[in-house]
Amino acid sequence: MNANLVSLEGKVAIVTGAGVGMGAATARLLAARGAKVVVSDINAETAAATADAIRAAGGTAHVVITNVADEAQVEALLAETVATFGRFDCAVNNAAITPDVLPIAEADMAVFDKVLNVDLRSVMLCMKYEIRQLLAQGSPGSIVNIGSVSSQRPQANNAAYVAAKHGVIGLTKTGSLEYASKGIRVNAVLPGAIDTPMLRGALDASGFTEADFAPALSLFGRFGKPEEVAEASAWLCSDAASYVTGHSLAVEGGYLTR
């Protein structure tokens, strides 16, 4: 493969939820591949840490603190991106919160609504304003939505999270249908069990370890690394994936093959 196709040199990228975990790893990788990266997160401290790491490695980063479930803030995110870098080319819509933990009959609807707002509504809002900007520029672009293997193989006691991640697939396919003629590609990445603070927190709460769970969640018998998910997103953002749209790329160690 031509290395220039995988390069993101000259592109301006937005990564939401970029303060920790997969989002931070993705922001760092996109910057390493040459993109100017807008680090978006609701947490100013973690967003600054990601941006500092990018700059320390010789990359370009700009922080925009954003509640991605708030439409005005998402609109402002795109406006500040363009004001800072002059354009927008690709995004990884990664922001999400911890899944719900109760069966449907016991569901806390406040939690249900919060999960849907952050894990689904935010993707819709980001796509809305990202696509508007690409159309205004008259330029092609790439949008990557971070879904989950739960959209293909649901887990019990996560009704809100499972519903949200199914919805992400629906938004991805709809976006690809509506805007392919404009050169805008919309794809999803479906992570499996990835070693993030969210996953470690769930393990600590349950009293289990990676050795207890990983063999059931991966054919490799280990958790994935955030950087392994970031590679998939970076490829979909790049010109190397120029003929790929409406696709859901699973990064899950073979979990879905069982």
Positions marked active-site: 161
The DSSP code for 158 is -
The Cα 27–Cα 93 span in angstroms is 11
| C-alpha–C-alpha distance, residues 146 and 73, integer Å | 20
CA dist 163 and 185 (Å) reads 23
**Is residue 226 within 8 Å of residue 196, measured between CB atoms?**
yes
- Residues sharing a CB contact under 8 Å with residue 174, sequence separation 6 or more, in sequence order: none
Residue pair 241/185 in contact by the 8 Å Cβ criterion: yes
**Residue 27: which of 5, 42, 12, 44 has the closest Cα?**
12
CB 194 within 8 A of CB 226: yes
Distance CA 219, CA 251 (A): 12
Across the beta sheet with 60-65, what order do the strands follow? 60-65, 36-41, 12-16, 90-93, 141-146, 184-191, 248-251
Residue 146: how many other CB atoms lie within 10 Å: 27
